[in-house]
Structure 1
Amino acid sequence: MQRFFVEPHQIDEAAHQIHIIGTDVNHISNVLRMKQGEEVWISDGGQKEYRCAIEAFSADEVLLHIIYAQEPDYELPSRIYLFQGLPKADKMELIIQKAVELGAYEIIPVETKRCVVKLDSKKAAKKVERWQQIAESAAKQSKRMLIPNVHQVLSFKEALKYAESMDIRLIPYELAKGMQETKEILAAIEQGQSIGIFIGPEGGFEEKEVEAAISEGAKPITLGKRILRTETAGLAILSVLMFQLEN
């Protein structure tokens, strides 16, 4: 069943109606070619979702009838922030899509020393707009209750500053200590704690960047004996955290 997101002002619980507006109107009417009576899921971007039936169409609105509402437990009990070093080509699109599926709360693109990709403010804004659309599509597909935000591109220094208030900060690093210490660090993470994960671009982080992160409280961890690509590393640690936090 298709899922869409709305703002609270679009929901009229007293009248048992939801008003779909914006680009979703065209998507429902002309792309999906949905008909009156077909059912959809609607998320309010918080904890509540609504099962609805299409009641009527107009040029700029799709009117839904609320069948029932519920408060499912789809979201992880912790907010996970993925600080991703800008990769080459279209790898960021794949990373965002899968990070959203795995429960990331926010994805922050980061420009580091070894990033091959360099974006000026205009290009960065267009990229972020595209990445946000991918995050929304992935959220709809994976039954997320909210659309994870794709932050504006930050420098590594700005990213460390942004992560200051997070409870746990992790930086996978090939020179980190053994797997046992990593297991202990991850096992100590509690539900409800906010978690920042720093992933380097192709070529990884420079040693000075790792030192700066550690000095700000980040804990270096290992992801095993094999070297993972930038588009794999973040998803690997997100998978581990998802499995652990779901329990």
Structure 2
Amino acid sequence: MHRFFIKEEQIGQDEIWIRGGDVNHIKNVLRMKTGDKVFLSCENDLEYECSLEEFSEDGIRARILDIHGMETELKTELVLYQGLPKGDKMEWIIQKAVELGAARIVPVRMKRCVVRLDEKKAEKKIRRWNAIAQSAAKQARRGVIPQVSEVVDFQTAVKDAEGLDMLLVPYEEARGMEESRKILRQGKKKASIGIIIGPEGGFDREEIELAKEAGGDIITLGKRILRTETAGMTVLSILMFLLEE
């Protein structure tokens, strides 16, 4: 069953009005008809099972059939701080991070980033990245649309992560697989976890020291060197498996 996202003001006592771009998608792309059923999510831990009842040019009226608690969201908030990668890798990273349960994605400028985005380019990229996050959230049947924030520097990212219960920093020079396993398992007891991933050139040593000062746990993901687009997905996959109920 198809899923769409709505705002709270669209919800009535026993009906919901679907507005915006989803109207065209439902009518002209999916070619849905009166009586077809959809799930509507409002990012309030509830999903509404609805039947499409009335089509107009600017909206679709859906009758609420049932209301369920959201069962697709992890109880732990996962925040991915991703060092800016080259090319279109960030689009793939965002798509997969959303599928794996990330609640928020923060693009980070780091010392060894090859990419340099000026303000105009960054604004356009962020709009594109958030559209990808929304599309991935629909496909993965997420109850919320994870936000892709504006691009920040490393110090700002670390400062933001200080408000989380745990900060994981996979580092190619880290050692101690058993200790890393122990740290990852401790994530089951945390309400929020941040993951900082370096760019293609890896972390600068000063960045590692800053992360440590902020309480970050430096971990290894094994003996092989992972690409930047692989490392974050590896940690998210491990955490999703540990946290899923």
Q: TM-score range by the shorter chain?
A: over 0.9
Q: Within 1, Cα distance between the matches of 2:191 and 2:3? A: 28
Q: Who is 2:129 aligned against? A: 131
Q: Where does residue 205 of structure 2 map in the other structure?
A: 207
Count the aligned residue pairs: 245
Q: Which whole-Å CA distance do the structure 2 matches of 1:191 and 1:101 have between them?
A: 22
1:107 aligns with 2:105: yes
Specify every segment of 5 or more residues in structure 1 that has no aligned partner in the other structure, as ranges.
none
State the shift of 1:67 in Å: 1.1
The superposition leaves residues 116-137 of structure 1 with CA deviations (integer Å, 9 ceiling, x where unpaired) of 1111111111101000001001
Please report the RMSD computed on the Cα atoms of aligned residues, expressed in angstroms.
Answer: 1.0
Aligned to 2:96: 98
Q: Give the gaps of 5 or more residues in structure 2.
A: none
Q: Find 1:237's aligned residue among 226, 235, 238.
A: 235
- Look up the SS of the partner of 2:129 in the other structure: helix
Question: Is contact 1:77-1:191 (8 Å) kept?
Answer: no
What does residue 57 of structure 1 align with? 55
Q: Secondary structure of the residue that 2:188 maps to in structure 1?
A: coil
1:1-247 equivalent positions in 2, closer than 5 A: 1-12=1-12, 14=13, 16-247=14-245
* TM score, norm. by length of structure 2: 0.97
Separation of aligned partners in 2, 1:216 and 1:47: 31
Offset, 1:178:
1.2
| Contact map agreement 2:108 2:154 (CA 8 A) in 1 | yes
Letter in 1 for 2:201: G
C-alpha separation in 2, matches of 1:115 and 1:72:
38
Distance (Å, rounded) in 1 between the aligned partners of 2:197 and 2:5 = 29
Distance 1:152 1:52, change over 3 A: same
Post-superposition Cα deviations, 1:16-51, rounded to whole Å, max 9, x if no partner, equal: 111011111111112222111111110111211011
TM score, norm. by length of structure 1: 0.97
Letter of the 1:142 counterpart: A
- Percent identity between the two aligned chains: 55
Answer yes or no: is the 8 Å Cα contact 1:77–1:192 preserved in 2. Answer: no
Q: Structure 1 segments of 4 or more deviating over 4 A?
A: none
Pair 3,191 (structure 1): closer, same or farther in 2 beyond 3 Å: farther
